[in-house]
């Protein structure tokens, strides 16, 4: 089990948010993602990165003055993290 006691509450929130969003985006792997994130530090960290990237993307989409190129870059980052998660899960089978 991954030790989460030393992780700041903000980071834990990003992980929880990222995990929830990944489970919505990849519904066929919900149970697997949840279990893997609880036991594998790499997937736990990917969930946190995904949560942070999605939060930034959401804020930029709401901001009418946000640079469309940066928004597109964050969309790519989110898609790449989703692909990394899928590859990690397939590697565990």
The pTM assigned to this predicted structure is 0.84
Question: For the residues 86-92, what does the mean pLDDT come to?
Answer: 85
**DSSP class of 6:** T
Q: Structural domain boundaries of the chain?
A: 10-91
Tens of pLDDT, residues 38-72: 999 999 999 999 999 999 999 999 998 999 999 99
pLDDT at 7 (0 to 100)? 54
Following DSSP, what letter does each residue of 39-90 receive, concatenated? Answer: H-HHHHHHHHHHHHHHHHHHHHHH-TTS-HHHHHHHHHHHHHHHHHHHHHHH
The first and second tokens of residue 32, run together, are 């697997």
Q: Rounded distance, CA 92 to CA 89, Å?
A: 5
């Amino acid at each position: 089990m991954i030790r989460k006691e030393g992780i700041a509450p903000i980071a834990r929130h990003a992980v929880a948010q990222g995990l929830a969003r990944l489970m919505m985006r990849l519904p066929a792997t919900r149970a697997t993602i949840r279990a893997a994130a609880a036991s594998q530090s790499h997937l736990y960290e990917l969930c946190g990165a995904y949560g942070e990237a999605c939060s930034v993307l959401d804020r930029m989409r709401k901001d009418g003055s946000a640079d469309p190129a940066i928004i597109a870059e964050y969309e790519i980052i989110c898609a790449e993290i989703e692909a990394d998660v899928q590859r990690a899960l397939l590697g565990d089978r």
